[in-house]
């Protein structure tokens, strides 16, 4: 057979193209590897029955919680909580800290330094407690006269240094969007994620709260996907801000979003309880696990 050099090269190119096509088809048919999400349940302490901290933690461990979310009183009292937790399997999921009266974004510039230092101290405590992060609300309604654009600029200018401090302590600033009855600024997960991205700091992250999301988001799934890897904490509450399962609010759509992004941090009760707590809290945990399995 007489094969010219051009024919040989053309045949080789055709074979290579065919091989690449087969490789691409094969790769397209291979199952994609996605991060495996897990449901890790936490709760704020105020709804847990018990005569003291030890009894509350014992009940949480008995019912199958993975972690506890503490309040700002833990700042400066780290040893109290660490001592109470050391004989349990529970972790600290987060410090629910709040806004420090909105000082960090105050229209009174001289107040901002106090807000920064207070949040810096809370982040140091979160690191000592091994918490994922500090739940931060820039401002509740009435706490600042700045407008949306002004608040956003203050955050983007201020948070990177706090993010760096958070990184040093292996924790995060967790920005929490609220519904419009509680805050005019920062109401959707996507808004918080946009600010976090503009801060360009791995120490700045986002929280999604099912209660607030009910009023402000068109889709729980979409909200969590908009947070993506920046979403590092979730608050659990029904539409009427009681335990999940105590009204018609469903969590399957949101849990699908968490599974989509491979969420592996904590989902924590921030709600009240209708009825007997020792009965209703375990029922709610079972309800959430069923919703997760359906997602």
**For position 7, what pLDDT does the model report?**
47
Cβ-based neighbours of 132, under 8 Å, separated by 6 or more: 93, 94, 126, 171, 172, 174, 232, 233, 265, 266
Q: Please state, in angstroms and rounded to a whole number, the distance separating the CA atoms of residues 95 and 272.
A: 18
pLDDT tens track for 157-207 = 999 999 999 999 999 999 999 999 999 999 999 999 999 999 999 999 999
Share the mean pLDDT of the chain: 92
**For position 29, what pLDDT does the model report?**
52
**For position 160, what pLDDT does the model report?**
98
Hey, is 97 helix, strand or coil?
A: strand
Dihedral over Cα of 140, 142, 147, 153: its sign: negative
pLDDT tens track for 61-83 = 999 999 999 999 999 999 999 99
In sequence order, the β-bridge partners of residue 98 are: 136
Ranges of each domain in the chain: 36-294
In this structure, the number of other CB atoms found within 10 A of the CB of residue 218 comes to 9
Instruction: Give the domain 36-294 fold.
Output: TIM Barrel (3.20.20)
**For position 33, what pLDDT does the model report?**
55
DSSP 188: S
Q: Please state, in angstroms and rounded to a whole number, the distance separating the CA atoms of residues 250 and 258.
A: 14
**For position 125, what pLDDT does the model report?**
98
**For position 27, what pLDDT does the model report?**
42
Tell me if 211 sits within 8 A of 238, measured CB to CB.
Answer: yes
Cβ-based neighbours of 292, under 8 Å, separated by 6 or more: 39, 251, 255
Tell me if 106 sits within 8 A of 147, measured CB to CB.
Answer: no
- Cα radius of gyration (the chain): 24
Averages of pLDDT over each 10 residues, the chain, 295 residues? 43 43 44 76 98 97 98 97 96 98 98 98 98 98 98 98 98 98 98 98 98 98 98 98 98 98 98 98 98 98
Tell me if 188 sits within 8 A of 177, measured CB to CB.
Answer: yes
Q: Sort residue 62 into left (φ over 0), alpha (ψ -120 to 50) or beta.
A: alpha
**For position 230, what pLDDT does the model report?**
98
């Amino acid at each position: 057979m007489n094969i010219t050099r051009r024919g040989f090269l053309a045949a080789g190119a055709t074979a290579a193209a065919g091989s690449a096509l087969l490789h691409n088809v094969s790769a397209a048919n291979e199952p994609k590897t996605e991060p495996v999400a897990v449901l890790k349940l936490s709760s704020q302490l105020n709804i847990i029955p018990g005569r003291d901290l030890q009894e509350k933690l014992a009940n949480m461990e008995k019912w199958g919680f993975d972690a506890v979310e503490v309040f700002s009183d833990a700042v400066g009292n780290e040893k109290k909580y660490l001592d109470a937790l050391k004989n349990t399997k529970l972790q600290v999921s987060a410090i629910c800290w709040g806004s420090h009266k909105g000082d960090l974004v105050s229209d009174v510039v001289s107040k901002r330094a106090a807000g920064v230092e207070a949040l810096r101290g809370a982040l140091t405590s979160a690191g000592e407690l091994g918490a994922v992060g500090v739940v931060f609300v820039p401002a509740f309604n009435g706490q600042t006269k700045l407008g949306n654009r002004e608040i956003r600029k203050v955050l983007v200018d201020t948070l990177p240094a706090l993010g760096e401090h958070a990184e040093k302590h292996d924790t995060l600033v967790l920005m929490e969007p609220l519904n419009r009855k509680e805050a005019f600024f920062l109401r959707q997960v996507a808004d918080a994620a946009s600010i976090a991205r503009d801060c360009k700091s791995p120490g700045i992250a986002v929280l999604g709260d099912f209660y607030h999301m009910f009023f402000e988001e068109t889709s729980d799934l979409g909200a969590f996907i908009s947070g993506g890897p920046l979403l590092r904490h979730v608050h659990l509450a029904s539409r009427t801000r009681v335990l999940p399962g105590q009204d018609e609010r469903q969590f399957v759509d949101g849990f699908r979003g968490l599974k989509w992004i491979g969420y592996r941090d904590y989902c924590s009760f921030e709600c009240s309880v209708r009825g007997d707590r020792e009965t209703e809290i375990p029922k709610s945990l079972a309800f959430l696990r069923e919703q997760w399995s359906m997602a």
